[in-house]
Chains A and B, each alone.
Chain A
Amino acid sequence: MTGPLRGAGPRGRALERDLSALLGSGAASCSPADLWATSRDCWPRALLWTKASVAPHPPDVVAWPASTAEVAQVVRYAAERQVAVVPFGAGSGVCGGTVPVKGGIALDLKRLSGPPALDLPARTVDVEAGTNGQRLEELLGGAGATVGHFPSSIYCSTVGGWLAARSAGQLSSRYGKIEDMVLAIEAVDGTGEVLRTQDAPAAGPDLVQLLVGSEGTLGVITKARLRCWPAPSSRWMRGLRFRSVEAGVLGLRALMRSGLRPAVARLYDPLDTLLAGRGGGEARAAVPEPLRWIADGAQTEALRLALRAPALLNRLVDALPSASLLVLGFEGDGPFGEADAREDGELALRLLDGEGAEDLGSAPGEKWLANRYRISYRQSPLFSAGAFVDTMDVATTWDRLGVLYHSVREAVAEHAFVMAHFSHAYLEGCSIYFTFVGLAGAPAGASDADDLEAAEARYDACWNAALSAACDAGATLSHHHGVGLHKQVFLAREHGEGMRQLRALKQAFDPRGILNPGKLLL
């Protein structure tokens, strides 16, 4: 459909009537604004839809249950009538995971946001799925605790969304990804049964790890117990310069295999290093003009002109100085927090000195810390100018990381301008976070259905090239963004025969196939 979103049809109005009777007045709506709000998430392709005033996949109705029991009621109601149910948190996903491609009920879980139950001596917190991430950290911070999960979407994401998509925070090297933090889950399966896993040793396969990452296709997560820790009392931040990205990767690997646990370890490729002025001294001045237009979200015409020749832009990058910046940070808590963080940091400096790193002092690290959430909110000018911006989070083992980095860059070079950083490092490997900036189409206000079609074709070509290269390099398609609508075309290449296992899980958890249908190829 094109044009402004239409109001609900008869099916939507009937669902609204029934769900209001089930949940109470005001707990369901099929107003155009509510339908539009839950018809998309922050998938950049959905931003292209918005720019073109298009909402291709609205739900029939939005429902706001206030308890696990109400979620179960809605699911049972939907299962009886074979109506799709799409769990919705805050809509911060970037892969279209909550786009209701089969219509049905958008199950907005934000009312499941009661106060978290903190047990700091036991290092646990029980929290409802609709709880906003930043709100959770504020509440825990008031009690001297933290979960340590800080995704760049923290202001606009929920605990349930983190779990459903296997989210990662910026401090994952210290605290782990969300699947490392979750101890137990309460969820409603596709038959409306409530299951509660135990925070205790139990026999059999780990049910939690089968639900986490299921993107609403196996169950609606309503509550979780997460590991929490005393809030840090001190941070030690640093920037280190390596002569090349390859040298930086070797340094990062040595650091992670040393047994030290940095809170922050992010290695920027040469361009990302220069654009953000992180290379020290006059680094930013060395960036050629067309590349700065992109970084600054420059004037529309200049930007569009530059993006018409992405291969040229990427070749310009190859001529830049090759230094790569590592942003490194350690945390300490308790009365010795400051001394501990400094001691860890200085030990890491000695280790990385042996790997050829140059210490740039604390400024690059402090700068990163101060600006760490801003990048997510700086993309609108580029979309308005007729560009698309997107990010790809892939991961692999240390031995394949270099091949992955170069092969994706090469594959995307013809389609978009590309830069990357290496973050979320582990003992065995690391993720690479690529940023693509490509020409989408007309500027905002001039985009129509034809322009959208062309923009989507360019966007798809870029992504197909990138994901195909990542697959060929042996990487996983997603480290923490999830799959959604976006990456599922490549899911069979990722899982191979494992798709049989995935389909079996669907039959077991959701025999009627009503939970977020059309996702994960289910």
Chain B
Amino acid sequence: MNALRDDLATTASAVVAEGGGLRVTPPSVAALGRVVAVLRAHRAPVRVRGNGDAPVEPPAGGALLELVALDRIASLDAATGIARVEAGCSVAALETAARRSVATLGPLLPSVRAGSVGAWLAGPTRGERAIPGARRETAALSVAAVLADGHLAESRAAPRSATGPDLDHLALGGSGRLCVIATAWIRLFPAAPPAYAAWKMPDLPAAVSAVARLCADRLAPARGTLRRQEGGALLALSWEGPESARLVSQRAARALGDPLPVDAGPEVRAPPSAQGLEVDARWAALEEFARRPDSAEMALYGMHAGGAFAVLSLASEGVEQCAAAARSIGASVVAPRRLREVASPWTEMGAGGIWRRLVTALGAEEAA
């Protein structure tokens, strides 16, 4: 550990011993590159944390990379819809800056909104959010990631490309295992008042089914609240898009019937249960979850033709039991972080060997 600490001292980063490991705070992207190179050379386990991310201890014999100083928003252009931002910047700070320019990141899961840009992109959602047309795409137009040898690999900031595999996907969803995200170009939507509508549904599964049907018909809402209530369930939805929100909400009303004569805005905007479990799930799984008698409420984000991000909760059970129930129907846990799946990536796809060879070829280590 002393040798590691000595080497890290040459990187112009703050290094503090804590528990059985080190807390390292690089002041710049260049310093981050030097730090990663040192850590990989020592084969030290690494954790990464940015502004807004939950406190975490350094791994034993390794380092916690604190990216709190990498919090700059280098540029933000609402007209073209792009921001260049460092990975340690909090998502909330980026959204605040975007809003000042009449732009937005769109509705995001509470854990995503509370954390850093780096954690969002490297986490299980891979930075994905819904886009018009009932599809999802990552918010990262381009990623600059530090490789094991400290070099910075940065993709071209283009809306799409066909220049081989999408190398950003070695960083997106990778939890810092293969490379560490340093900066990113983030896509922004124009900010405009949403359109809201609410309906009374026979029950919670029917409400889920109704949203799934809207998504299958390209009428995907931006956000939804589904709540069991006396004699049925409330379905409250919002749509975004300067020109399209009103149009699509009217078509949803055509499909679901006349909405309730209420302002659905407060229902949609109300934060979901703080004890909720965040998952990525297909519609059939969400409908099955809604059939549980103790399933009382659901908040939906990132809705697309195949499924959604959802905040789930059970009236009589804790979040651990909720996670077990969600997993049993094929949902993938996003938050809380401690309940995420820890299996080696790709194994169930018959690609466990590829993953191991990739880790070796990149000189990377399994994250702590």
Interface residues, chain A, with chain B CB atoms under 8 Å away? 121-124, 165-168, 174-177, 179-180, 183, 189, 191, 193-207, 209-215, 217-218, 227, 229, 253, 257-261, 333-334, 336, 340, 343-344, 347, 351, 393, 395-399, 424, 426-431, 474-483, 487, 491, 494-498, 500-505, 507-509, 511, 520
Contact = CB atoms under 8 A, between A and B. Distances in A.
Contact of B80 (A204, A397, A479): A397
B354 A195 contact: yes
Given A195-B350, A213-B166, A474 B157 contact: yes
A479 B167 contact: no
Contact of B159 (A123, A194, A397, A500): A397
A343 B174 CA distance: 43
Interface in B146-174: 147, 149, 151-167, 169-174
B164 A213 contact: yes
Given A206-B173, A501-B362, 11 more contacts: A122-B306, A177-B160, A203-B173, A253-B79, A397-B82, A399-B80, A426-B160, A477-B163, A481-B162, A502-B165, A505-B165
B80 to A, nearest CB: 4
Given A395-B161, A397-B158, A498 B357 contact: no
Given A261-B133, A508-B358, A495 B153 contact: yes
Contacts of B169: 205-206, 209-210
Interface stretch (B40-48, B223-231, B238-246): B238-246
Nearest to A334: B217
Interface of B: 77, 79-82, 124, 126, 131-133, 135, 137, 141, 147, 149, 151-167, 169-175, 178-179, 187, 189-190, 216-218, 240-245, 247, 251, 254, 279-282, 305-307, 330-332, 340-341, 343, 345-346, 348-351, 353-355, 357-358, 360-362
Contact of A347 (B124, B187, B247): B247
Nearest to A335: B254
Contacts, number: 271
A391 B17 CA distance: 58
A211 B166 CA distance: 8
A477 B161 CA distance: 8
B151 A500 contact: yes
B173 A479 contact: no
Given A204-B346, A258-B242, A427 B81 contact: yes
B242 A399 contact: no
23 contacts: A166-B160, A189-B351, A201-B280, A201-B330, A204-B355, A205-B345, A207-B346, A207-B349, A212-B165, A214-B164, A253-B80, A258-B241, A258-B242, A399-B82, A427-B189, A428-B80, A428-B187, A477-B161, A482-B162, A494-B156, A500-B147, A504-B358, A509-B354
A496 B151 CA distance: 10
Contacts of A215: 164
Contact of A397 (B157, B162, B305, B355): B157
A213 B168 CA distance: 13
B254 A336 contact: yes
B166 A475 contact: no
A142 to B, nearest CB: 20
A209 B166 contact: yes
A194 B160 contact: no
Given A476-B163, A500-B151, A189 B241 contact: no
Nearest to A340: B251
A217 B163 CA distance: 12
Given A347-B243, A399-B77, A427-B131, A207 B351 contact: yes
A206 B138 CA distance: 11
Nearest to B359: A508
B346 A176 contact: no
Nearest to B187: A428
A173 B331 CA distance: 30
Given A165-B162, A259-B240, A428-B159, A504 B362 contact: yes
A177 B135 CA distance: 12
Contact of B361 (A124, A217, A333, A508): A508
B160 A431 contact: yes
A167 B327 CA distance: 35
A395 B361 CA distance: 31
The 8 A-B residue pairs with the shortest CB-CB distance, nearest first, are A259-B241, A204-B345, A259-B244, A201-B332, A166-B162, A504-B361, A476-B161, A201-B280
A329 to B, nearest CB: 15
A476 B307 contact: no
Given A166-B162, A426-B159, A123 B305 contact: yes
Contacts of B243: 258-260, 347, 351
B275 to A, nearest CB: 21
B247 A495 contact: no
A179 B242 CA distance: 27
B252 to A, nearest CB: 12
Nearest to B283: A122
Contact of A204 (B77, B137, B162, B173): B173
A315 to B, nearest CB: 30
Given A397-B159, A476-B156, A203 B124 contact: yes
B92 to A, nearest CB: 22
Contacts of A511: 357
A510 to B, nearest CB: 10
A478 B77 contact: no
A334 B79 CA distance: 34
Q: Which of B162, B218, B348 counts the most chain A CB atoms within 10 A?
A: B162
B153 A210 contact: no
Given A121-B216, A478-B161, A495-B163, A260 B350 contact: no
A251 B361 CA distance: 46
Q: Which of A260, A343, A491 counts the most chain B CB atoms within 10 A?
A: A260
Q: Which of B79, B244, B330, B357 counts the most chain A CB atoms within 10 A?
A: B357
Contacts of A210: 165-166, 169-170
Contacts of A347: 243, 247
A165 to B, nearest CB: 6
Nearest to A427: B81
Given A123-B306, A195-B354, A347-B243, A494 B163 contact: yes
